[in-house]
Amino acid sequence: MKIFFEIVKGTLFFYQKIIFIAVFELLNMKIFAQQDTVFWFVAPDVAAEHGDSPIFIRISTLEEAANINLSEPANPSFSPIQLNIPVNATQSINLTPFKNIIENQPANTVLNYGLKLTSSQLVTAYYEVASEVNPDIFPLKGKNGLGLEFFIPSQFHYPNQHGNETFEIVATENNTTVTITVTDDVVGHSKNSTWSITLHRGQTYSVRCTGTAISNTLAGSHIVTNKPIAVTIIDDSLRPLITTGGYDLVGDQIQPVNLLGIEYIVVKGFAYSGSQNFEKFYVLATQPNTQIFINGSSTPSTIINAGETYFQMMELDAYYILTDKPVYVYHISGHYDELGSAVIPQITCTGSQQIGFNRTSNLDFALMILTKDEFKSGFLVNGNNGIITSSDFSAVSGTGGIWVYARKELNSTFLLPTGSNIIENELGPFHLGILNKLGGSSEYGFFSDYSSLYLGPDISFCPGTSVTLDAGAGMTSYLWSTGASTQTIIVNDPGEYYVTVTDELCTLSDTIILSHYPVTPVNIGNDTAICQGEEITFDAGKIYHSYLWYNGNTSQKITTHTGGLIWVQVMDENNCQSSDSLQLNIIPLPPSRMIYHD
């Protein structure tokens, strides 16, 4: 791994025309923060000696009430948790009693701890470690967190007081082959090594640094898989002052490479005091010869290759980042020497118009808001238009006045109460970072729709079933390759499907490939007959995951002496069903005859 250091000083060039600026921009798209109906997540193993509880899933509804189901698909001993949430509300599921079967440990071991949250309606959700001494927020990305290739963004300035830097993997399908390359020594594997594991649906795997020093970083580590996975990153108990002061958990759920962009804005938080400044952002390249331009400069600050990281000390309150190839942008922020972190979304055709979140304590609370200048007067906080106003915003350097930001401290619970809150904009989309102080620590969550159009990763499904493809709510128009013009379509056949959506001047397209799982039909033989009083055994084969016979038996084989229709239904490892039947006839014995002896 190569690390590049550069601080922008002096006069910043004003906005200039750069050929890499994205063609399409989002106008008036009615979308919400990371809304979805299915979320996969794997909870990190946080250092208990510092503080790893309580833990919660916080779920916010939008314009419709939602029925929620939280399960561990690979762990049959976990009883699903169900919840009904009314309109425009935030409720929490306390997972603390289940911590020992949720936190993903030990490392380098296949476990069954993957969480799957499903909802009857679109919702937003985040996982929170609400420890007063070691908290953080992990916004769940829904299908925007699932993919086939990931790089690991990270920091390399602060050591771990407790715990280690780690990334966690959860599979969403059976027979998922994951190939991992690491940039540091981890449990069970050495620096720069590559290995593969196989996971089934809901199974998890943890990759954990063995060291805690500043030099122990997984930045630039690479994950490639054949089926969709979700990835969580954590850096436990970072100590910014090295020998004194606080230390804090940071982390996030990250996006796959295919959803990254080239245009980003980072808004500074409050992790500084006087000359001591801990605010930094990190840019991780995913392709060779990636050029990085800062605040509208026509000269690249640096050129880096895939897996390499550039970082910037944040002396200004906001930075505009433009690259010529897709990158990750990772922000370290917080309250002075208590840190938090978030993966920042690209700004092209992304954003939210309504965000729900939970304020956990009555201590310091701050918002970092990003929107376009034309939308800055449209904010409502719990219906109040006087809390975030136009005067709170300043222009982002290098964007020609198009983008504006606000850094708003709302420490008073009179303005922003503890518990459920909703921020919305009546004019257009925005991005929101929240800094929530608990005890002497800080947690950072970044809320935004991370992709304005994503059909999800390629899907395999069972023959005879269907798949619903969803292009997202609130678009002006939809056009599918099938000719349909609806938000969703139901597909029965494998093949390539694509959709184009528009909303004012923003036009986006995405493609998805559907395929059938290979299914081995079950065969219990042809119609047959046995003599009365005899028995016969039928065998469905040992390759299936479950069995159900006509008489309720659930074993691979059955033995019977009763005639009639014999049938079996089986399910394979992909939950695809197959069935077979035959007629069993019973041949009666001939009538007995009296035998006489002379």
Task: Express each pLDDT in 344-392 by its tens digit.
Answer: 999 987 888 889 888 989 999 999 999 999 999 999 999 999 999 999 9
- Dihedral of CA 13/19/20/21: which sign? positive
Residues 6+ apart with CB under 8 A from 417: 359, 382
Lay out the sheet containing 564-571: strands in order across.
Answer: 528-531, 577-587, 564-571, 546-549
The H or E element spanning position 572 is none
User: In whole angstroms, how far apart are CA 595 and each of 34, 220, 415?
Assistant: 87, 92, 105
Q: What's the pLDDT at 508?
A: 80
Higher pLDDT: 453 or 139? It is 139
- What pLDDT was estimated at residue 450? 66
Cα–Cα dist 149/217, whole Å: 19
pLDDT tens-digit profile of 251-272? 999 999 988 999 999 999 999 9
The structure tokens 């059955």 sit at 558
The per-residue pLDDT for 16 is 37
pLDDT at 456: 83
pLDDT given at position 552:
96
Q: How many residues comprise the chain? A: 598
Contact criterion met (CB below 8 Å) for 568 and 540: yes
**Mean pLDDT in residue range 275-292:** 97
Burial class (CB in 10 A: 0-12, 13-18, 19+), 97: exposed
Confidence of residue 34 (pLDDT cuts 50, 70, 90): confident
pTM, two decimal places: 0.81
Residue 455 — pLDDT band, cuts 50, 70, 90?
confident
Chain centroid to CA 438: 25
Nearest C-alpha neighbor of 117 from the set 76, 68, 78? 68
Determine how β-strand 3-5 pairs with β-strand 309-313. Answer: parallel
Using alpha carbons only, give the angle 156, 159, 160 rounded to the nearest 5 degrees. Answer: 125
Domain 528-587 is of which CATH architecture?
A: Sandwich (2.60)
Say which residues have a Cβ less than 8 Å from residue 595's Cβ, sequence separation at least 6: none
166's tokens: 């780690």
Output the pLDDT for position 504.
53
Which is nearest to 56 in space by CA: 99, 23, 13? 99
Query: Residue 171: which of 200, 207, 206, 195 has the closest Cα?
Result: 200
Residues whose CB falls within 8 Å of the CB of residue 101, separated by 6 or more in sequence, listed in order: 72, 75, 77, 78, 113
Q: Which residues pair with 470 in a beta bridge?
A: 488
Measure the CA–CA gap between 293 and 56, rounded to whole angstroms.
39
Give 144: exposed, middle or buried? Use CB within 10 Å, 0-12, 13-18, 19+.
buried
| The pLDDT value given to residue 452 | 59
Q: How distant, in Å, are the alpha carbons of 69, 277, 289, 324, 426 from that of 311?
A: 40, 14, 16, 17, 35
For 387-441, give the DSSP string.
SS-GGG-EEPTTTTTSEEEEEEE---TTTS-SEEEEEEESSS-EEEEEEEEETTE
> 3-state secondary structure string, 184-248?
CCECCECCCCEEEEEECCCCEEEEEECCCCCCCCCCCCEEEEEEEEEEEEEEEEECCCCCCCCCE
Cα–Cα distance measured from residue 512 to residue 524, given in angstroms and rounded to the nearest whole number: 37
Higher pLDDT, 573 or 160: 160
Residue 594, beta-bridge partner list: none
Q: Would the pLDDT of 17 be above 90?
A: no
Supply the mean pLDDT for the chain: 90
Q: Which residue did the predictor score with more confidence, 533 or 507?
A: 533
Identify the three-state secondary structure at position 341: strand
Return the domain boundaries, the chain. Answer: 3-9+34-447, 459-516, 528-587
Q: What is the pLDDT of residues 87-115, one digit of tens each?
A: 989 999 999 999 999 999 999 999 999 99
Residue range 154-187, pLDDT digits in tens: 999 999 999 999 999 999 999 999 999 999 999 9
Cα end-to-end span (Å), the chain: 105
Output the CA angle 489-467-569, nearest 5 degrees.
145
pLDDT of residue 461: 93
Q: Which of the four pLDDT bands, split at 50, 70 and 90, describes residue 245?
A: confident
Q: What pLDDT does 598 receive?
A: 61
- Does residue 521 have a pLDDT over 80? yes
- Write the pLDDT tens digit of every residue in 104-156: 999 999 999 999 999 999 899 999 999 989 999 999 999 889 999 999 999 99
pLDDT of residue 525: 96
The predicted structure's pLDDT at residue 589? 86
Give pLDDT, residue 457: 82
- Give the integer Cα–Cα distance in Å for 9 and 295: 11
Residue linked to tokens 């009314």: 86
- The better pLDDT of the pair 4, 356 is held by 356
Angstrom CA distances, 395 to 317, 369, 463, stand at 10, 12, 54
| Strand, helix or coil for residue 142 | helix
3-state helix, strand, coil in the chain (%, to 5): 5, 50, 50
Identify whether the C-beta of residue 340 lies closer than 8 Å to the C-beta of residue 235.
no
Q: At residue 590, does pLDDT exceed 90?
A: no
**Rounded Cα–Cα distance for residues 504 and 476 (Å):** 7
Report the pLDDT value the prediction gives residue 358, as an integer from 0 to 100.
87
18 residue type, one letter: I
Reply yes or no on whether the pLDDT at 15 is more than 90.
Answer: no
Average pLDDT over residues 77-92: 94
The per-residue pLDDT for 488 is 94
Give residue 9's pLDDT band: very low, low, confident or very high (50, 70, 90): very low
How far is Cα 227 from Cα 141, in angstroms, rounded to an integer? 17
| Per-residue pLDDT at 492 | 95
The encoded tokens of residue 197 equal: 């594991």
Phi, psi angle pair for 526, to nearest 5°: -95, 170
Q: How many CB atoms lie within 10 A of CB 269?
A: 27
